[in-house]
Every structure is written in C-alpha cells, then in structure tokens.
Amino acid sequence: MLYHSTRSKQSFVTSKQAILEGIAPDGGLFVSDELFNTQLDFASCISDTYQELALKVLSLLLDDFSHDELCACVEAAYGSNFDTPQITPVTKLGNSWLLELFHGPTCAFKDVALQILPQFMNVAKQTLAPHTDIEIVCATSGDTGKAALAGFSTIPHMGVCVFYPQGKVSDIQRLQMVTQTGEYVCVAAVKGNFDDAQREVKNIFANRALEAQLKDTHVVLSSANSINVGRLVPQIVYYAYAYLTLVKDGVISFGAPVDFCVPTGNFGDVLAGWYAKQLGLPVGKLIVASNSNKVLCDLIKTGTYDKNRAFVKTISPSMDILVSSNFERLLYYLSDGDTSFVTECMNELSTSGSYALPLELHERLKADFSCGYATDDDTQKDIAATFETTGKVLDPHTAVAHFVMQQHPSQNVQVCLATASPYKFAADVLHALDPTATPQNGFDAICELQKLSHTTAPQQLTSLKDALVLHTRVCEVHDMAQAVLDCAKTLGTGE
Ligand SMILES: *Cc1c(COP(=O)(O)O)cnc(C)c1O
C-alpha cells in the first residue's frame, strides 16, 4: 500500500515515510488509491479485543510495518494508560449509544491516535533515519498539546515543544500542559491567539536557516497534527469496535447499518468513519455535527465551502475551526482521484476563501454524510436535558453531536461519539447544569460538578491540583523559533 499526495501522483512513499513526513512536499495530504481495493472481514472480528482489532486494521493500511512492529506499537499504546480494558467502551444513552473516546491519559479522544503515533514514528525513525532525533512542534488550542506531550514525552530521542495561546485555554487544560514531566519537553505560552501560534509554527517548519542549525545537533522537526496518516488510521479502529460491540451485545445483527454522529472540527475523526465504511464496515450515515463555526455543515447542505465568515469563540473550542484540513482527503476520493481538481479547489480556497463542488460530487457527498449544528445555547440546553433524563453528563463537544443526532431520527441504530470528559470543561458544563454556580477556578468547578452529578472526576485531572508547575516560559510570537532551538539543544546532546 503506497501513499501519494492528494495534489499529484508523481512520487509514492511507504506509510513509514508518510508518517515521518506528515504532509506531502507539495502541501497535499497523503492518501492511498488502494483504499477502495482493501476489505476487512469484520464479521470474523466479533470476539476480538480492541488490541486484536487494532492490529488487523493497522496491518491493512500500514503494511510496511512488520507484524512484530505493529504488535509492539499496539501494546505500548493501548494498555493500562487507558482506564478501561475496552479502551473505547460503548454505553447506552436513552434510545441511542455513546462511544466513549475519553478514557485515555488526557481525557480527550485525541489520545486514541496520539498514544500510538509516537510509537509509529519511533519505529519509522529506526528504519529510515536511525541517527537523528525528532522534535515534535505543535501549536494547540488546548487538547492536542497535552495529548502530544503525553504521547511523545516518554519516547527516546524524541522531544516535544508545545505552544498554547496565553490566557485562551481552560484552567485545567493549561495545568495539564505546564505540569508535564519529561526530559525533552518544552511548553510555552504565546502572547497571541491560536492562529498566531499556528501560523508561526508553519513558518518554523519552512525556515531553512533554522533547519540547518538543527541539523548540527542531528535534530529534525516533525508534526503531530491531525493530517498525519498515522493519526487517521488508528481512529478507524473504534468505529469497528463500537459496531462489533453492538453485535456482540445483541443490539444489532451483523450487516445492519449503524449511523455515527461526530462532533467535527478538522474532519479527521469523521473521515476515519468513512474509511471504516470503505473497508466494509456496515456504516449508514455519518452525521457531521458542527458548532457555530459551521463551515462543513454549510458545505454539505449547499455544496460550497466558504470560510469567509467571522470566527466564533464557543464553549466547544476544539471545534472552533474554519479550515478543516482533512476534508481534502475526501475531495480526492469523491473526485475519483482527480489531483488537478483537488489542487484547483485548494488554490481557490487560499486565494478567495471558497470553492464550489460540481453537482455530481455534491450528490456523492450527501450520499454518505448528513449534517447539523448546535449553538452554545443549544449545547447548554442539551447538557442539562441529557442529565435530567439519563443522569449522564456530556462534555460540550459531545453535546453538540448529541443535539444534532436528535435532529436526525433514523431507522438505524445511532451512535454518538463522546470526544472529551466533561471534567475537562468543568466550568462550562457546571454552568449548563446550574447557571447560579460561581466556581472560583477550574478545581472548584470540578468539585461542584462531582457533587451535583454524583460522578467522579478522572484522577489525572484532580491530581493536577498538587502537581508541580514545570513550565513557565512566556514568549512573543517571534521568539517561538528560539524556544524550538533551545529544546533541540537538550535533545541533540542527550544520548
Ligand atoms: C479535536 C476535537 C474534536 C474535533 O475532531 P476533528 O478530528 O478535528 O474533527 C472534537 N471534540 C474534541 C473534544 C476534540 O478535542
């Protein structure tokens, strides 16, 4: 299975190369034409553990990894670092089901991919670049940063440098990052917003002078963001695991289509569901749930992608995004692999901020995807109503999807993806349940939420209260490159 860019078919790489490089040299994303010729016999996987199923899915799509290499990656990623042996359990929620993706070390769904991506990179590095050290650089609006820190900080010869916008992440999210242990870890608050940090990270990746300086210390930079194929592929597993759990529990018989409703930002999570469908999983509709930044929802409804609009700050911040990078992969597949069409769309997007799909392509999109959106008000009401009727507390991202799912009644069994623990956004969730509450800080909100909901906060969040703050660096946007260099210095010398 070889990978190439969504924007040209001139050069092909193995999955190990694609994972190390992250993004194709022409700015496209790595895809494989073999996806349509690849099938997994899911019916024979019904009694598989999460790890057994993961191994089967990964071996299909990352086929230059040896069986032993993948076994080791799966074992390291999906063990006691999750708080349940099922890794992504399925629980009942009213008439539908919740796929809980927040049982990992940082309590957000990004753990499922970011626990295993560092393992893939480590193996790929040993094969392709054994004498270099890798420094992961990432800008975060909150969840990705901590998940990357947790995944990469224990891997030898890898460092991780995370930039978050000062004053613009939740109390708990900030503490999760600044208390991160590990030798080659750098966490810095940036004086600016997420877009400023993100733009400068892109500049850092394109900075040839910096690249040369880093080479002297045998360090290369790499990225852990969601366009990496090594993040996409592991996310296919939980769609299959959820489906097979419903079969095993007698809710459906094998072959019955199941709809999945997915809180969506960068289109990585829901795209993995579409990949699962291509591999033969009986998926009905994939429902794209947006918050007020509903670019994708409008695209599915109208056939036009238009990012020319105001950015709205919401209580589901991990979905506050106007350019959903992973959609480029779907464009490639829906256009039957038309790389010039994809290039044209992406050029239009960067010059005019919008592009329109031809009618036939729009029809194909609507055949697989439905959509809806929830405002903050809808989200808060859903959190309150769900708690009242089921006793379950949803995080704001999950509540967006739950609200949208209820507006899409279906003959099919429906599964709502739960992407974060409510305790990660304790203040906003508490406010939705009790508008009169006035917690002093994140921990206060956690305590009150525990009392009100009779649930227990994850230990890795409550223990932050006594954790040592290890990272106090604050930098201007133009000093971010220096922080990357400083991190590289410790990394390059540590044998
Ligand atoms: C990142 C994130 C999302 C959005 O996922 P995409 O793959 O970017 O669409 C949804 N919910 C939470 C809690 C997240 O952290």
Residue 143 alpha carbon, nearest atom of ligand 1:
15
Cα(267) to ligand 1 centroid in Å equals: 8
pTM (2 d.p.): 0.95
Cα(246) to ligand 1 centroid in Å equals: 24
Residue 267 alpha carbon, nearest atom of ligand 1:
9
Using one digit for the tens of pLDDT, what is the confidence trace for 318-366?
898 888 889 999 999 999 999 999 999 999 998 999 999 999 999 999 9
Mean pLDDT for the stretch of residues 450-464: 95
Give 430's contacts (C-beta < 8 A, 6+ positions apart). 437, 439, 445, 448, 449, 452
Cα(265) to ligand 1 centroid in Å equals: 6
233: its two tokens: 């592929």
178 pLDDT exceeds 80? Answer: yes
Q: Which of 239, 266, 400 to mutate to test the pocket of ligand 1 (most atoms within 8 A of CB)?
A: 266
- Strand locations in 223-338 (E): 258-263, 283-290, 304-306
**pLDDT given at position 195:** 77
Helix axes 426-433, 396-406, angle to 10 degrees: 50
Q: What is the mean pLDDT of the chain?
A: 95
Mean pLDDT for the stretch of residues 431-457: 95
For residue 226 and ligand 1, the question of a CB distance below 6 A is answered with: yes
Q: Are 42 and 280 in contact (CB under 8 A)?
A: yes
List 16, 56, 110, 125, catalytic entry: 110
Q: Which of 319, 424, 429 to mutate to test the pocket of ligand 1 (most atoms within 8 A of CB)?
A: 319
Using one digit for the tens of pLDDT, what is the confidence trace for 184-241?
999 999 998 887 888 898 889 889 999 999 998 899 999 888 889 999 999 999 999 9
The SS3 call for residue 4 is strand
Mean pLDDT for the stretch of residues 123-129: 93
Do the bridges between strand 354-356 and strand 304-306 make them parallel or antiparallel, or are there none, so unpaired?
antiparallel
Q: Are 337 and 385 in contact (CB under 8 A)?
A: no
For residue 327 and ligand 1, the question of a CB distance below 6 A is answered with: no
Residue 397 alpha carbon, nearest atom of ligand 1:
11
Mean pLDDT for the stretch of residues 5-17: 96
Using one digit for the tens of pLDDT, what is the confidence trace for 319-331?
988 888 899 999 9
**pLDDT given at position 486:** 92
12: its two tokens: 């092909």
Cα(318) to ligand 1 centroid in Å equals: 5
For residue 141 and ligand 1, the question of a CB distance below 6 A is answered with: no
Read off the pLDDT band of 495 (50, 70, 90): very low
The question of whether 489 is a catalytic residue gets the answer no
